[in-house]
Amino acid sequence: MFTEMFSALLDLLTWGPILAMVAGTMLGITLGAMPGLSATLGIALAIPFTYGMDVLSALALLAGIHNGASQGGAIPAILLRIPGTPGAICTTWDGYPLAKEGKAGGAINLAAMSSAVGGVISAIALITLAPPLASVALAFGPPEIFWVTIFGLAAISALLGDDVLKGLIAAGFGLLVSSVGLDAVTGHERYTFNSLYLINGIPELAVMVGMFSFPPAWQLAEARVKTTMGPMVRIVSERIWKLAEVWRVWLKSSLLGIIIGILPGSAIGAFIAYNEAKRASKTPEKFGKGSIEGLAAAESVNNADNAAAMIPTLTLGVPGSNIAALMLGALLIHGFQPGPQLFRNSPEIVFGYSWAMLITALLLIPLGGAVASRVFAQVLRLPPLIILPLIVVTAVFGTFASENSMLPVYMAGIFGLVGFGMVRFGFPIAPVIIGVVLGKAADFNLRVSLLMSAGNPSILYTRPISIFLIVLSALVMFYPLVLYINDVRRARRHLATNRTESDTPAR
């Protein structure tokens, strides 16, 4: 294993992947710095362009975008109090007060350093934890793999959005989309309506690009915002932190980020790490007013869950986040099936990607610090109304280039409209993508399990690992219901208290 690990590192340290990592990190920081755009959008837009690249350069580019965008979100969070990415909300609490004190450069520098530390620790976790987990997963048969995919879908549906029912419907929609085309077991046509175009199914890329690129672009049109270029952003870089002050926070937040990142569907890492840093701090009163520890905690945890979310993706084929789902799609598009077999058949891919996550995290120190405060901060001057058509053109260019055909472009347009409608009606998008990506595997393993047992469904619920996964899926699905019941109880108590207060005569 060590041989493969180091030969993957040597493969990565060649011109193509190095350029891809630098370009990806810069692109990621730029995207993350633009409020409204995200790593998810960046990766969705970049995947089609990786078709012509060798797989290691492609993964290096995507790793750079992933790490870069997570850090880039800190720039508008610090300068404008606008979180560039959802994970940067906690960054605004201490980053913006520091900027108001004239320490914007120092705050961006600290954010970059914290992100780099979080990213490096997370990548080390990916390199060390994924192989043993994959060896365990090799013992899984078709029924277990079926339940693993169901668990992944249940976790994402229940935990990623606000509404488990809508998450479940979205996942179901994705699974139905994945079943369009020829059935992999019998070769029968499904939902093709006798159209030749649908025989090979709906391209995953069209769904990913359509649903993740068009809705955020159209949402940029919602607000009547400034339509002119802003003034030049001038930032003076200075070091505002001491290692002794932040190393404990970095370590604790990064470990928290890894644990939370491994769990599918968790999007609360930044809040937990921020609260923990505040609880453990000797100066908790500074939190929210420009605390160095607060900013360090928020940024290190943001990047710590990046590589960690890839651990279940690469070992079990179950994505832990939106971006992990897109990465899973990217691997499928390049001809690799994520899961335990990937470690056995193509270890250079897994380790190459893991090293790319580590190196791009290190690249955040120069690119996310000094360069970001001078160059990337300038993207904040671009009006969103110019960015909107550029995103659409990039999405169309990329989708066309993927198959050299307009059909995926039309499909991406249709899925963009569906995605926009779903967002407006409160449905999460991620379960659709995960349903599309995992659907074929779930279907295939269900059918093979039934063939193995001559049609007896008991094979699905009598094996010990299957029972464990069924219980886990049920717990994940019912957890939001427990939260809802608690919420209703609290509301009743709140109402009762209000009523008692209003009934008490004033003295």
Partner 1 sequence: MNVRDASVAAVVFAFSLAAFLLAGTFGGGSGIFPQIISSVMMVASAILFVRAFVRLPTEADVIDEEISSDDRRLTKDEVVRVSIAIVLTTAYIALIVPLGFYTASLLYIPISAYALGQRQHVLIWVATLIYIGAGSYLFTQVFFTPLPRELIFRLF
Counting contacts by CB under 8 A, is residue 334 touching partner 1? Answer: no
User: How far is Cα 58 from Cα 52, in angstroms, rounded to an integer?
Assistant: 9
Nearest distance from residue 485's CB to partner 1, in Å?
Answer: 9
Q: Residues near 119 by Cβ (< 8 Å), separated by ≥ 6?
A: 67, 70, 303, 304, 306, 307, 357, 358, 360, 361, 362, 364
Give yes or no for residue 450 binding partner 1 (CB under 8 A).
Answer: yes
Which of 93, 214, 336, 351 binds partner 1 (CB under 8 A)? It is 214
- The packing angle between helices 104-137 and 89-100, to 10°, is 160
Q: Which of 469, 450, 361 is nearest to 69 (CA)?
A: 361
CB 114, min distance to partner 1, A? 27
* Six-digit token string for 83: 């979180």
Segment contacting partner 1 by CB under 8 A, of 36-44, 221-229, 301-309, 320-328: 221-229
Burial class (CB in 10 A: 0-12, 13-18, 19+), 49: middle
CA atoms within 13 A on the CB side of 43: 26
| Residue number, 175 or 314, with CB nearest to partner 1 | 175
Of the candidate residues 3, 139, 194, 224, the single one contacting partner 1 (CB under 8 A): 224
Binding mask 358-387 for partner 1 (x = CB under 8 A): -------------------------x-xx-
Work out whether 102 is an interface residue with partner 1 (CB under 8 A). Answer: no
- Which residues are within 8 A (CB) of 472 and not within 5 positions of it... i.e. 6 or more apart? 151
Does residue number 499 form part of the binding site for partner 1 (CB under 8 A)?
A: no
Q: In this complex, which beta carbon is closest to partner 1, that of residue 239 or of residue 494?
A: 494
**Does 390 contact partner 1 by CB under 8 A?**
yes
Q: Does 49 help bind partner 1 (rule: CB under 8 A)?
A: yes
Binding part of the chain for partner 1, among 14-22, 86-94, 237-245, 406-414 by CB under 8 A, reads 406-414
* CA dihedral for 464, 468, 474, 477, sign (positive or negative): negative
Q: Give, as one character, the DSSP assignment of residue 220.
A: T
Rounded Cα–Cα distance for residues 496 and 247 (Å): 47
> By CB under 8 A, is residue 426 in contact with partner 1?
yes
Please, how many CA atoms are within 13 Å of residue 296, restricted to the half-sphere of its CB?
24
Can you tell me the distance from the alpha carbon of 226 to that of 378, in angstroms, rounded to the nearest whole number?
15
Which residues within the stretch 143-202 sit at the binding site for partner 1 (CB under 8 A)? 162, 165-166, 168-169, 172-173, 175-176, 179, 183, 185-186, 188-191
Site for partner 1 contains 401 (CB under 8 A): yes
3 state SS of 189: strand
Distance CA 243, CA 87 (A): 24
Residue nearer to partner 1 on the CB measure, 326 or 422? 422
Inter-residue contact 443 to 184 (CB < 8 Å): yes
Q: How many residues bind partner 1 (CB under 8 A)?
A: 68
Write down the residue that tokens 């949402």 correspond to. 219
Min separation Cβ 301 and partner 1, Å: 22
Q: Which amino acid is at 442?
A: A
Min dist CB 449 to partner 1, Å, is 11
Determine if 242 is a binding residue for partner 1 (CB under 8 A): no
Q: How far apart are CA 418 and CA 437, in angstroms?
A: 17
Nearest CB to partner 1, comparing residues 344 and 424 = 424
Q: How far is CA 422 from CA 215, 318, 392, 447, in A?
A: 10, 23, 19, 30
| Residue number with CB closer to partner 1 (183 or 348) | 183
Q: Is 495 in the site for partner 1 (CB under 8 A)?
A: yes
Taking CB under 8 A as the binding criterion, the range among 102-110, 333-341, 350-358, 423-431 that sits at the site for partner 1 is: 423-431
Residue numbers at the binding site for partner 1 (CB under 8 A): 49, 51-52, 162, 165-166, 168-169, 172-173, 175-176, 179, 183, 185-186, 188-191, 214, 217-224, 227-229, 383, 385-386, 388-390, 392-393, 396-397, 400-401, 404, 406, 409-410, 413, 416-417, 420, 423-426, 442-443, 446-447, 450, 484, 487-488, 490-491, 494-495
